[in-house]
A = this chain, B = another copy of it.
């Protein structure tokens, strides 16, 4: 069988599996895999450095399918090249509990690097991976020891490039000169509503050149051109690469090629038959893969094993020559923090005066950066406000990838997608900051972090209307509660500096994403909290100061800046002989996970008079205050004024807490 023929059949196998997989599921997107089969074949067999028998080899090239709806392409490639995705799995496409869900879901053991589907996010994830690679290379590579020296490839679609996140991440990638990024743009001129010309006529190559990218345009069905473009990209240093591939969606389908009908629906049995006939394929057996095709793809295994073996040898020598660096590498790859790192956590003294939790966070972060070398991060142009800057450490820039301060620019969702890429890459502990109200911009990426359950830390400061003068557009109201609803996301709103330190400890130990909600305004450092903060934050809620009377008539439950208010109010209430307990509840999901006896020890069933105090939406608090409780919160937008005025106008004063509490007691 001539080589060219085998090659063509290897490519067509990807088309056939996509058609058949989508048809069997009666759901999915066959057109993209069929159009990008040539590119994928050339990349995966000739360029991608990967070892299907060890999908987690640290120096593998990363492949991101940003156009996640074309998932059958990825599953087929993984199956054909020898990852533990079997033909049976392809037949289970989009079925319950299968390895092959509708969109790729991160599964490092299967070779699925990141969860994609929400368009544009994979694009940004790749930028994060590229930053991670450059950073770790700058920190750990030594002459003759290229421990980190791989590429990040991605397939991106018109949808990815229409999304704003592709602008934010693309612009930053150009700024940083990430030449380890090689992106293939599937320019098939078709989207769900029809031809892209109905809405999308920008000059994409010119746009990316404006970002500082190196751009090539090729026929995406010409394997030689594809190969040459990848080689050119690798040779051209200092810029990220976009290879614009002119393709035909559903290539090979006599009636649906170049039509939006092939975008999001099965081709149909009859059209599949016609397509297979046109491709010279058997129409008898679905999912048919010729033996020589699979054998050819499986050559990736010995090739990959050899590549990894070479790298392991390098690593062995590196360990001999640079034992300290090698040890750090091993440790950060394992995800373990340095021994006794938490001894660096500052202990804040109540008598040192009031401090905003954002300031406390900045102090904690800087203390930890000194002992956790893999801690890197930054802010979306608000570092001085978010207190996210690591003092005395460099910026990460294209002339210094070893810097640990990332300058994200005013690019919140781009930052979110990049943080996800940094986190899935492994080895680094990452954080990113902006104002809490702009967590809304990051929500789509925080959600994917939560789906993947990867440890990204969000430093969201200015966490209530007590932002003050900036007014309602900058004042969170609904954000805290709305974030608590994202499954797997640990949301912490610490009450003072010591709870903030505990929150950072929890965040760094957390397997999943963590959001820190921090104040702009100063808060007292409370002696009642000092010794309890660590266990309290880990348990999610705890008694800060109990009733001084012989009974508990009322529980004040507060979070963040409202805990100090609760303590102040408690004194006034006890003067009125209301036995009052104050509970700080920095982390709802942790509290919900506690054993019942602990929960009841904090919120005893028999105390039904409960007043929650939080400068945010009241909806949701009924969970803890119950049918007989009340909530002092905010169910409207904020306003522009100095924050002490807002405290008074919105009723966040001890007098009003007492008023609300007395009313509740009288009910």
By a beta-carbon cutoff of 8 Å, the part of chain A in contact with chain B is 25, 27-28, 68, 94-98, 101-103, 105, 115-119, 158-159, 162-168, 171-172, 174-175, 191-193, 198-204, 206-207, 209-212, 264, 379, 381-385, 395, 397, 407-414, 437-438, 440-441, 443-444, 447-448, 450-451, 468-474, 477-478, 481-482, 484-488, 617, 619-620, 622-623, 626-628, 635-637, 639-642, 645-646, 649
Specify which of B118, B412, B413, B469 is in contact with A473 (CB 8 Å cutoff).
Answer: B118
What residues of chain B lie closer than 8 Å to A468, measured between beta carbons? 27
How far is B177's CA from A195's CA once the two chains are assembled, in angstroms? 18
How far is B383's CA from A469's CA once the two chains are assembled, in angstroms? 41
Query: B198 to A471, Cβ gap below 8 A?
Result: no
What residues of chain B lie closer than 8 Å to A379, measured between beta carbons? 193
- Across the A-B interface, give the 3 residue pairs with the lowest CB-CB distance, nearest first: A164-B164, A167-B167, A101-B640
What residues of chain B lie closer than 8 Å to A203, measured between beta carbons? 209-212
Distance in Å: Cβ of A589 to nearest Cβ of chain B: 10
What residues of chain B lie closer than 8 Å to A470, measured between beta carbons? 27, 102-103, 117
Query: B193 to A162, Cβ gap below 8 A?
Result: no
The answer to whether A471 and B163 touch (CB under 8 A), given A118-B438, A199-B409, is no
What residues of chain B lie closer than 8 Å to A411, measured between beta carbons? 162-164
What residues of chain B lie closer than 8 Å to A103, measured between beta carbons? 470-471, 473-474, 640
Q: How many copies does the complex hold?
A: 2
Query: A447 to B451, Cβ gap below 8 A?
Result: no
The answer to whether A450 and B637 touch (CB under 8 A), given A159-B381, A201-B174, is yes
How far is B636's CA from A34's CA once the two chains are assembled, in angstroms? 34
Query: A481 to B485, Cβ gap below 8 A?
Result: yes
Q: Can you pick out 17 interface pairs between chain A and chain B where the beta carbons lie within 8 Å of each other?
A: A96-B639, A96-B640, A105-B472, A163-B168, A166-B167, A174-B202, A192-B382, A193-B381, A203-B210, A264-B385, A440-B443, A448-B473, A450-B637, A478-B482, A478-B487, A481-B482, A626-B626
Residue of A165, A202, A412, A635 most packed against chain B (CB within 10 A): A202
Query: B164 to A199, Cβ gap below 8 A?
Result: no
What residues of chain B lie closer than 8 Å to A484, measured between beta carbons? 619
How far is B174's CA from A508's CA once the two chains are assembled, in angstroms? 45
What residues of chain B lie closer than 8 Å to A98, measured between beta carbons? 640
Apart from A167-B168, A440-B444, list 20 A-B contacts with CB within 8 A.
A94-B640, A94-B642, A95-B641, A95-B645, A96-B639, A97-B641, A102-B470, A103-B640, A105-B471, A105-B640, A163-B168, A171-B200, A202-B210, A204-B210, A206-B209, A207-B211, A477-B487, A478-B482, A478-B487, A487-B637
Distance in Å: Cβ of A213 to nearest Cβ of chain B: 10
What residues of chain B lie closer than 8 Å to A199, measured between beta carbons? 172, 175, 381, 407-409
Question: Closest chain B residue to A634 by CB distance?
Answer: B487
Query: B202 to A175, Cβ gap below 8 A?
Result: yes
Query: B162 to A168, Cβ gap below 8 A?
Result: yes
Query: B409 to A200, Cβ gap below 8 A?
Result: yes
Distance in Å: Cβ of A410 to nearest Cβ of chain B: 4
How far is B409's CA from A482's CA once the two chains are assembled, in angstroms? 28
How far is B644's CA from A95's CA once the two chains are assembled, in angstroms? 11
How far is B191's CA from A411's CA once the two chains are assembled, in angstroms? 12
Specify which of B171, B485, B646 is in contact with A619 (CB 8 Å cutoff).
Answer: B485
What residues of chain B lie closer than 8 Å to A168, measured between beta carbons? 162-164, 167
Question: Closest chain B residue to A177 by CB distance?
Answer: B201
What residues of chain B lie closer than 8 Å to A381, measured between beta carbons? 159, 162, 191-193, 199
Residue of A27, A102, A468 most packed against chain B (CB within 10 A): A102
Query: A619 to B626, Cβ gap below 8 A?
Result: no
Query: A474 to B162, Cβ gap below 8 A?
Result: no
How far is B167's CA from A382's CA once the two chains are assembled, in angstroms? 21
What residues of chain B lie closer than 8 Å to A383, measured between beta carbons? 192-193
Query: A478 to B485, Cβ gap below 8 A?
Result: yes
What residues of chain B lie closer than 8 Å to A204, measured between beta carbons? 210
Query: B212 to A210, Cβ gap below 8 A?
Result: no
Query: A487 to B636, Cβ gap below 8 A?
Result: yes
What residues of chain B lie closer than 8 Å to A105, measured between beta carbons? 471-473, 640
Query: B649 to A96, Cβ gap below 8 A?
Result: yes
What residues of chain B lie closer than 8 Å to A118, measured between beta carbons? 437-438, 441, 473-474
How far is B193's CA from A408's CA once the two chains are assembled, in angstroms? 10
Distance in Å: Cβ of A639 to nearest Cβ of chain B: 7
Specify which of B25, B174, B437, B469 is in contact with A27 (CB 8 Å cutoff).
Answer: B469
How far is B407's CA from A185's CA once the two chains are assembled, in angstroms? 22
What residues of chain B lie closer than 8 Å to A119, measured between beta carbons? 410
Distance in Å: Cβ of A176 to nearest Cβ of chain B: 9
Query: B623 to A626, Cβ gap below 8 A?
Result: no
Distance in Å: Cβ of A472 to nearest Cβ of chain B: 5
How far is B175's CA from A413's CA once the two chains are assembled, in angstroms? 24
Distance in Å: Cβ of A464 to nearest Cβ of chain B: 14
Query: B164 to A165, Cβ gap below 8 A?
Result: yes
Distance in Å: Cβ of A30 to nearest Cβ of chain B: 13
Query: A164 to B414, Cβ gap below 8 A?
Result: yes
What residues of chain B lie closer than 8 Å to A210, measured between beta carbons? 202-204, 206-207, 210
